[in-house]
Structure formats: C-alpha cells, structure tokens
Structure 1
Amino acid sequence: MSRVPQSPSRRLLLAGALAAVSAAVTGCSLGSEAATSGGSKRLRIGYFAFPSGDLIVKNKKLLEKALPDYEITWIRFDSGASVNQAFIGKSLDIAALGSSPFARGVSGSSPIPYKVAWILDVAGENEALVVRKDTRISDVAGLKGRTIGTPFASTSHYSLLAALETAGLKASDVELVDLQPQAVLAAWQRGDIDAAYVWLPTLDELRKTGTQLTSSKEVGGAGKPTLDLAVVSDDLIAEDPQAIDAWRKAEAEALRLLTSDPDGSVKAVAAELGISAADAGAQLRQGVFLTPEQVASADWLGTDDSPGKLLGYVTDTGRFLAGQKQIDAAPSGDVVRKAFYLKGLSDAVK
C-alpha cells in the first residue's frame, strides 16, 4: 500500500475515522456494562446499514419474538475494522463482518475471540470500483498514479487490491486513502479522490457521476470472492449457545422471506435504510443471497464434521492479504478451521 501524504485535510480525515471507531466502541461498551447487571439476558448485535437479511430480522423483530426474555440491542457500524475493535473490547456478542476483516481478525498470535457462524450474503454488484467520469478512465489499469478511496481492512479494500493485481498494478502504483463510506462520498464530491471501491448505498451515489470499472461479482468470479459473514463471540458460544440457535433461525427466516415475501422484505429494508421502496428493491437485486440450505451446504459453511468451501475462501484471503503486506502472516487452514462455529447449524436451517 502506498504511503499517503499527511496533509492537514488528510490528518483531519484520519482523526474523524478514529473518532468514529472510538464512538462505536464506546457506545457498545455501555451495552456491555448493562449486560452484566440485573437478571435479564442481553444480546448486543452489530449490523451494517446495508441491504441484507440482517435488516429484515431487525425491522420485523424476529429475534425479539424468538427470545422474548432477552434485551436485544442493535448497534450500527460503518466497517468491519470497527467491528473487530468492538469484539476486542468485548462489546459485542454477534455482528456482521466481511470475509476480509474476518481473515484479519483470526490472523496473528492473538486472534480475536469470535467465530463465523452464518453467511449474510455473497458480494455481487453491491460493491464496486467506480471512477469519476471526468477522468476519462475506462479500465482498472488506467488508475495508475490516481487517488482511490476505500475503507481499509474491508471487503472492498480486499477486492480493490485483487482488481489492481489482475490489472497488473501494485498498491504502490496508486495512492490509497482510508475512508469510511460517508467520507468517501464527501471526498468524491470535493474532487479529492479519482476513484473509490465501496458498497451500497454510497456506491449508488458515486455511480451518478462515475463509471463502474469492476465489481465484487467480477472479482469473485475471477477467484477472489468476498462475503458478508456473521460472527459470534467465544463467550456467547460458551455461555448461551441456545441464543445462537435462535438467532440463526431468525436469519434463516429472513433469507426465506426475501423469496417468499419480496414486497415485505423490500419495505423492511427501505424502512431501516430510510430510502424509497424502489431504491431498496434495486439495492437488494444487486446482492447475492443464499438459501438457508445453501448456507449450511458443502459449497459454503458446511457442517461441524465437514466444513465447506468457505474455509478455503477465508484461508486464501489470508494468504492474499499477507502477500499484499496487509497482515504480518497468513493464518493456517487449521487456525481458520478453529474460527468456525458450525455446531447446530444444520438444525437451524430446517
């Protein structure tokens, strides 16, 4: 990755990003303190404002109905990096997390104490690389020497590095800027960046004045897929596996509703994102959603006795990140396997 000059505006952007992470972790820490007081059980769930089954579970209160004796707190995050920080601070029980930040989280000598337990979606056209139309750039190779914004340690960051490599470019051939989605949009509107790799809904705003060069669907089809996973803390696995079973069943119901009740699903996502039903429907169509049975199949998560292909995807992601000097060393397949929680998954999708 290229080193970004520390201009005053850049320092302000970095300070803002750090403040956002701090605020998110502090916010969940309050929930952590509350969870240890009183007699009621509580779950702290991290989610993204991104079209998925998670938003349907939240909007329709599927988990609250399944666990009426629990106090459930939903905490919004902007990127996987801040989710990882929150788990390190023991401020979350369950959370959405991209496959790239998950691979980072399980690498190193002190892996984050969580395990993947569900797949929310497979990245498709809902994450993409867009360049400003006024640059007249028409392919990824044309980005050499240009400034590109993306949230570091995210699936978009991983897919961007993969796209650059496929185009014959190194990270040092461009200027990478670490920006959260809203900061990406602001930098784009100011003309501070030439291109960005980011996800919905910010992505749709960039498309209005930009040209899409590639997407995570294309990058994945070329051998480097990314996914939105869901992870559970080691503490929750040890102390309350029944809550995980109930949560999985709620997520499975949401995936089924995407097919059986598309209009209701669109309304739920629109309400959670504060957008029109038309926009919500368009955003949902850009994602790739598995059936619950596919989630537990050999092609994806698999079973406790026989993990699926996701194990290889995450291991390959770790190797790629290590090769790009994004992490010190790639986690072994055995280390990644230990970061999978598959007990009870088959029953949850019945």
Structure 2
Amino acid sequence: MPASLMSSRRLMATLTAWLVLAAPVLALDLNIGYQKSAVNLASLKAQGVLEQKLKPLGVEVKWFEFQAGPPILEAMNAGSISVGMTGDSPPIFAQSAGAEIVYIGQEPAKPESSAILVPTQSTIKTLADLKGKKIAFTKGSSAHYLTLSALQKAGIAYSDIQPVYLSPSEARAAFERGSVDAWTIWDPYYAAAQRAGGVRVLASGKGLTSNNTFYLAARSFAQANPRVIDLVFKALTDNNAQLSGEVKKVAATLSGYTGLDAATYEVMLSRHPNYSVDYLTPAVLQDQQKVADAFHGLGLIPRPIKVQDAAWRPSRP
C-alpha cells in the first residue's frame, strides 16, 4: 500500500475519532416531573441551571408540573416523564401496580413538613378523636401514609374512618366548606393553609413518619443514562448549598415560578431547610419497606413488594 494512502487513512481515522469525542454524547429529552414542594428542582428550573449543564451533551430539559406524586409516576410509567420527585407512598403504589420505575436518590427526612389539620373550633382534640371522621387526603400520597401512621398510634382501624380521596386543591376546598373533618397535607399546601388561618395542627409527621422524599426515574432511562443522573444530582447538591441561608431570596424566586406567595415558601423553608440529594442508603430503603408493608397489611396495595427490587444505583458513583 502506498505510504501516501496509509497516511490519508490514518488522518481520516484520527479525524473521525476526534469528531466522535467532540460530538454530543447524547441526544435525548430529559422530561422532569415536579411539584410545588420540589424546592430544589423548582429553583433549578427558575435559574436554567440544568439546561446549561446538559446542553453540551445534547440533552434538552423539559419541565412538567403536577399537584402530587401519584400522577408524576403514572406519567413516568407511560413514558412521558424521565425523572421526578415524590414523597414516600407514590412509588409504593406504582411498584405494586407493576410500573417500570426505580428509586434513584433521596433527600433528608422531613417529618415536620406534613400535618393533619382540623378547623380551629373543631371538637377533635386528639388523634383518638378521628374515629368515625371524614379525613381528606390524596390517595397513594405521603399524606396517605401519615394518616395510616396516626391512626395506628391512636389504636384506630382504617375502616373506622371515612377516607375522602382528593387532590390538594380539592381537599382544601372541601376542608374550608366543612365537607370533611380533617385534612392531611404536605408543604407548601400545609404552610398556605396555616397562613390563610382557620386551621389547627392536630399532629405533624414528627414521631409518625420520616416523610422521606425520593427521586425516581423510568427504569430504562436510568439504565441508559447514568451520566445524566449524575449531573442532575450534582446540580441539585450544588444548588442546595446556595439555598442555605437565603430563605427570602429563594422564597421570592419560587413564588414567581409556582404562583404561591413568597411568605408561604418562607414558612416551608423554615421547617425544612435541607434539600440536598444523594444516592439511596440501606436505612432509607428499610424505612420505605415499612411503608410498603403497612399499605399491604391493610389491603391498600394488591400484593406485597420488595422495595429493594426497585432500587437503582449506577455502576460508577
């Protein structure tokens, strides 16, 4: 083979290799499902941080807001959402229903960020007084588990209350017109109700639930895109450090993107200032298994599940 031809081929191989390395590693949509309670995600959205970090990889970030966790995971199982954040109970119901989703990360526990509310003048003074009462909450949400835990502590059977399954906005309307006796809810809806007045906290989640927050992904997305998840977690971790001590600034930013007033977010942030994100720990998975067992024990999910089966961790940290 002539030396000139060999040289040309080597040059072409070198150029091809360089072009492969220089080209975007990925070309996909990262569809993120978030709620008004997703302080860290909503803050990143407001700043456009993820868009900046992921654009060089050919990843387009798209945001979709939901009222609660269950519809986020329904959309994820249907292929419309790549990554999302929910409380402890939605993934239990999703896994039990056979959804192809996985836990990819966690935030620190926040038991005081959820509560069971009653009207100020209500005759309900203790958890035991909930027997026979109508309690509003979103089915399959963290509020559902808080309700179960509160009833268990009071020695009340689930069949001895009247659960009223409503979205947060529907539940607040029912609560304010007196159609239900109590309302189990999480921040920032909890904080908003307190600021509006006319409510009394019967019990927060303290001593009843860890109220863990999880990041989840479609199983296929997580398996194919560990690098994207790494970058999302890094952005969330870096952003959490910036959030620390900037309550008023963060509250104002979030208010502009969610429609809730800044004072509501200030109350929420004062209750739970840490929104750092990390990969799953064995202790949190054990805690989550207790949640799953409680729902199955009452027949609220159709089959027992092993939370560990839906736990994911990349092959490289």
Q: TM-score normalised by the shorter chain: which range applies? A: 0.7 to 0.9
Is there any run of 5+ residues in structure 1 with no aligned partner, and where? 1-38, 303-307
Find the residue that maps to 1:50 and give its secondary structure: coil
Aligned to 1:26: none
Aligned residue number for residue 24 of structure 1: none
2:147 match: 160
- Map 1:120-139 → 2, pairs under 5 A: 120-139=107-126
1:170-194 CA-to-partner distances (Å, cap 9, x unmatched) read 1111111000000011111221111
Question: Which has the larger Rg?
Answer: 2
Partners of 1:73 and 1:237 in 2: how far apart?
A: 17
Contact 1:52–1:121, Cα closer than 8 Å, also in 2: no
Identify which of 92, 97, 100 aligns with 1:113: 100
* Distance (whole Å) between structure 1 residues aligned to residue 250 and residue 243 of structure 2: 6
Say yes or no: does 1:282 pair with 2:282. Answer: no
The whole-number CA distance in structure 2 between the counterparts of 1:130 and 1:323 is 26
Partner residue of 1:77 out of 66, 71, 88: 66
Determine the C-alpha separation between the residues in 2 that align with 1:70 and 1:230: 19
Q: Unmatched 5+ residue regions in structure 2?
A: 1-25
CA 1:288/1:107 → structure 2, altered by over 3 Å: closer, same or farther? farther
Tell me which of 92, 95, 115 is aligned to 2:84.
95
Q: Offset of 1:277 from its aligned partner?
A: 3.4
Correspondence for 2:233? 248
Amino acid of the structure 1 residue aligned with 2:204: S
What percent of counterpart residues are identical? 23
**What is the CA distance between 1:141 and its match in structure 2?**
0.7
Contact residue 45 and residue 72 of structure 1 kept, 8 A = yes
2:191, 2:265 within 8 Å by CA — same for their partners in 1?
Answer: no
Name the SS for the 2:266 alignment partner: helix
**Cα distance between partner residues in 2 of 1:161 and 1:257:** 36
The reply to whether residue 342 of structure 1 matches residue 313 of structure 2 is: yes
Task: Report the residue type matching 2:102 in the other structure.
Answer: K
Which residue pairs with 1:8 in the alignment? none
Could you tell me how far apart the structure 1 residues matched to 2:38 and 2:101 are?
24
Once the two structures are superposed, residues 118-173 of structure 1 have per-residue CA deviations (whole angstroms, 9 ceiling, x without a partner) of 22452332210011223221111111111110001001111111101111111111
Q: How far 1:72 moved relative to its partner?
A: 1.3
> Measured at CA, do residues 52 and 122 of structure 1 come closer, stay the same or move farther in structure 2, by a change above 3 Å?
farther
Q: Specify the code of the residue in structure 2 equivalent to 1:150.
A: F
- Say which of 296, 301, 304 aligns to 1:327: 301
Q: 1:316 aligns with which of 290, 295, 300?
A: 290
CA shift digits 1:247-303 (9 cap, x unpaired): 1111112222222644443332232233443332221112262545xx34xxxx23x
Aligned partners of 2:69 and 2:87 also within 8 Å: yes
Distance 1:327 1:48 in 2: 24
Correspondence for 1:236 among 218, 221, 239: 221
1:145 maps to what in 2? 132
- Give aligned pairs, total: 288
- CA RMSD of superposed structures (Å): 2.1
